[in-house]
Structure 1
Amino acid sequence: MLQLRPLDPSFPIERQLATDAAPAVLVNLFTLAVDDEPKFLDAWRNDAAFMKQQPGFISAQLHRALGENATYLNYAVWESTAHFRAAFSHPAFRSSLAAYPSSVCASPHLFRKAGVEGICDA
């Protein structure tokens, strides 16, 4: 089963789930042993297929870091934190975490768009 390590220890995913934002962007950084990549990808594929069927899911994209180490970044967009909270808390999803190899460390964090004048809109 994977380990959870917050990106911001003072505001872990459990606290983020209690906030209201729409839309919400999940960024999840995964580190793992290179030998575990095939099992990781199978587990992630199954979780992504489940999430794709959940209300409020918009999109997801998995990225592999350049280099020899097995580091992945998942970027998923949800209609709201409420939708993500329902999917993340679903018993079927929670039980699926046991399929990840023990070397996998996940650092999920929710974000909202930020506006920067002249560059991007919130």
Structure 2
Amino acid sequence: MTKSTPTPVTTPPTTSGAVVRHDENDSRYILTLTGETVGLADYWVSGQNMHFTHTEVDPSRRNQGLAGILIEQALNDARTRTDLTVVPDCPYVAHWIDQHAEYQDLLTRGR
């Protein structure tokens, strides 16, 4: 099977220049900055659930808000592209959703 190029997630321009791409073949969202991969968010789908399992940002790029940009854009994509229930198995994703009430509906939709 040939891997397709990750497709851009529809995102508003960010002041940081960050771009989030969805790599459906590898079940992950990839965050790039000036063409360099600096972060990722892994997920897997089981039935009607989309489990976010791991979020990572390059240690040299931490504390710049990049993980938040990554998760926000990944969740926006999940909201518009699927009707799956988001399961935040990753502690960072769970905390991010707790801090952003407008995304909490993703935890219960489809149930």
> Could you say whether these structures have the same fold, taking a TM-score greater than 0.5 normalized by the shorter chain as the test?
no
Q: TM-score, normalised by structure 1?
A: 0.28
Please identify the structure whose Cα radius of gyration is greater. Answer: 1
Q: TM-score, normalised by structure 2?
A: 0.30
* Greater strand content: 2
